[in-house]
Structure 1
């Protein structure tokens, strides 16, 4: 077992609750722009100062007191990432209540379980549909007394209800909130079984933020200006809450973007023009594919591919130089990079608003090639690591010593170990208090002050952590071969045609994959084939070409693993994964177990497609699965 730890955190210890951030900011710099609201008609952004945010939080907190929300009460928020989320969240913390985030697309059963398990006294929902969802389960929730609909002006009504409450009441409640009081009960994504609520303290969540701000804030803020972040990740996930708290505690201007459609998000980035981007790997993968598709549609596909290759080569040379392993880019590479900077890279950055200095990726590991691409075009992506149980990030790239392909080193004050079986263990101030109402589950993961994360990884000689997968996701074939699916899936997703991939193979003779296609890129790809002929003949040729293209993508992914780990069979699914069929988590990760259950018949058919008349001996059976086979039927 190896461990690495850095110096203690430089940030001052927390003395109260997270709501204090708003009040302290208003006292320190009343006119500082803290939040930005977008006009739904004009699309312009209106900045809201620190003192205005404080007054809104205080007025809403008075309303919560008026309707009986008290310290220790739990209130759920079931809404997209929007301005009201932040104000309500801090108002709840100001009166000592605990926030229970629920993703707005959660099913009726998930909503009922979370509200019942957490014992919420109230829930704020976004629209009429969510009101109906909550209303359908109210009979089984005896503690639930309030349902507030944001789109119906519920917060305005709460403010009016509390107009008679003195401000001193809120101040008194805020000052009795202790750092170790629970701030958030965040339910895990439920990739296996029912979700459980992670109790996260004010101290734990603030510690993570303050440590990152102390060491990395200068990478967010432009010289002589104020840093800005467009928050579009769901606040129902701890990563989204981390972004919110970083902005509030760090004095960064935060805009909210609830609509995650490509057009709406692109418009928001162009108009808000953030200096820093907080994203997940799937967003960055889609962004790269969009760059590629746009270039191909304009007849510049070959130019983009050359520019992308140069970007990766340039970033690799720069990385070697900063790690003391090389002299940096040579003259020819610098000249090529400068040429593409003028013709390609700055245009790519303009799609993000033109001011993004750096970015952070979290939720799952980011592929090294993709990280090098973004660094090469001028947007370094800090790939970090964290869990719901740690309140956010516990590793980050050391400034000036970044190493793509890893998730960095433990942040100051946090220790990381890798057990003999490869499981990552974490200890530090941000580790959660335990699972609400489930001591057995808590004892199973908290062992002698260390959190057993369930993730697999390794630490290199310099203390950089690499994530290789989840313990529960490791596939064991019938021949006894152990396969980590994440690296294969990551490489498959980089092909522009492929949207998602789930590697399977437990107790099967070989590794297989379920694949979904990107609908937009598929339409463009089909149009570019230029096939002629009648309907049936043309369709057959299109399917053959598509089969060959996907087979090449599978072969490229297989080139990075051993023969025993390679994908031998695959099936293309007719639809993509989404929240509606509960195959994605709020942070856009695939629920592997749910996919395997949902497509059990397709998986069986995929393997049965290559059955042989006489079953071979066990040792011969694996050898019989020679080349990757595709199954479109």
Structure 2
């Protein structure tokens, strides 16, 4: 077997957790746009200072809702701004995120929430909430369900208004590098999905070396990435954390069907995906060019790009 390796370029912190990233960003780059959020059909910027404030507000709400240090919190949603916000809020409350694919069946949801011991489920839509409720009788550890589209973020922020900054700061520092950050479940093609425990240190090591090795692609204040892969998948999650680590502007796209249009409106400098997605974008663009009578020019441009 041939092996190939490269020396590590990033020195993983001896301790700490992923919430250190958003606190550092707010301190060192307070007015830099680190997120892009779709409001009324238009992309608007969220600065590092604003993002930290939103995360802290939601994290206080999770604490007020009874989420404790080390608790598992399920996150069932498409890839959207609130996914990233809630992910960091869960970590800020000292808890562990359990992502669930938004296409999961009630049976799959029951298995993942039950196996992980999730105490709270954050879901995107009424359909997701109904799916969780349909199996809730079999989930004795699940204490509550909150729906994003029903105002969960605003409600949690309001409920956490009386939680002190001091308590939140303690919670944000509760997890250590080798503590679990998330439990990502496999697809279940070889039996029931298996929970893979990933620590804060694992994310630091992986994302830190990506950002260091591909430094010119991660320029703070200049670079941006549009995340259209499922945030429930570990690859999508690595893109999320690497973007925050850099930091660069991160946009989230819930519906891949609108990818071509959103690439034009968000204008990312960096795209990370899988071959199937790029093939679809290419085929869609080529079909449009042919319909507009520009097929030959498109093909010549493609040949030039390959060369």
Alignment of 1:494-533 (within 5 A): none
Q: Tell me what 1:269 maps to.
A: 263
Q: Tell me what 2:305 maps to.
A: 311
* 1:14 CA drift (Å): 5.0
Q: Tell me what 1:485 maps to.
A: none
Maintained 8 Å contact 1:205/1:242: yes
| CA distance in structure 2 between the partners assigned to 1:92 and 1:266 by the alignment | 32
Between 192-201 and 14-23, the greater mean CA deviation after superposition: 14-23
Q: Tell me what 2:179 maps to.
A: 181
| CA distance in structure 1 between the partners assigned to 2:259 and 2:297 by the alignment | 26
Maintained 8 Å contact 1:20/1:94: no
Q: Which has the larger radius of gyration?
A: 1
Alignment of 1:231-630 (within 5 A): 231-261=227-257, 264-312=258-306, 314=307
Q: How many residues align?
A: 307
Maintained 8 Å contact 1:220/1:275: no
Q: Tell me what 1:16 maps to.
A: 16
1:194 to 192, 195, 219: 192
CA deviation string 1:79-132 (max 9, x = no partner): 011111111111111122110000111111111111111110011111111111
| CA distance in structure 2 between the partners assigned to 1:299 and 1:83 by the alignment | 38
User: SS of the residue aligned with 2:256?
Assistant: coil
Q: 1:309 to 1:127 in 2, by over 3 A?
A: same
Cα RMSD after superposing both structures: 1.6
| CA distance in structure 2 between the partners assigned to 1:299 and 1:50 by the alignment | 45
| 1:83 to 2:81 alignment | yes
| 1:35 to 2:35 alignment | yes
Q: Tell me what 1:595 maps to.
A: none
Q: Tell me what 1:102 maps to.
A: 100
* 1:146 CA drift (Å): 1.1
Q: 1:274 to 1:115 in 2, by over 3 A?
A: same
* 1:296 CA drift (Å): 2.6
* 1:217 CA drift (Å): 2.2
Higher relative contact order (CA 8 A, sep 6+): 2
Structure 1: tracts of 5 or more residues without a match: 315-633
User: SS of the residue aligned with 2:271?
Assistant: strand
| CA distance in structure 1 between the partners assigned to 2:21 and 2:221 by the alignment | 20
User: SS of the residue aligned with 2:176?
Assistant: coil
Maintained 8 Å contact 1:11/1:214: no
| CA distance in structure 2 between the partners assigned to 1:64 and 1:291 by the alignment | 44
* 1:4 CA drift (Å): 2.6
| CA distance in structure 1 between the partners assigned to 2:300 and 2:80 by the alignment | 39
* 1:12 CA drift (Å): 4.4
* 1:276 CA drift (Å): 0.6
TM-score (normalizing by structure 2)? 0.95
Structure 2: tracts of 5 or more residues without a match: none
| CA distance in structure 1 between the partners assigned to 2:133 and 2:196 by the alignment | 25
Name the structure with the higher helix share.
2
* 1:24 CA drift (Å): 1.1
Maintained 8 Å contact 2:217/2:223: no
Maintained 8 Å contact 1:65/1:95: yes
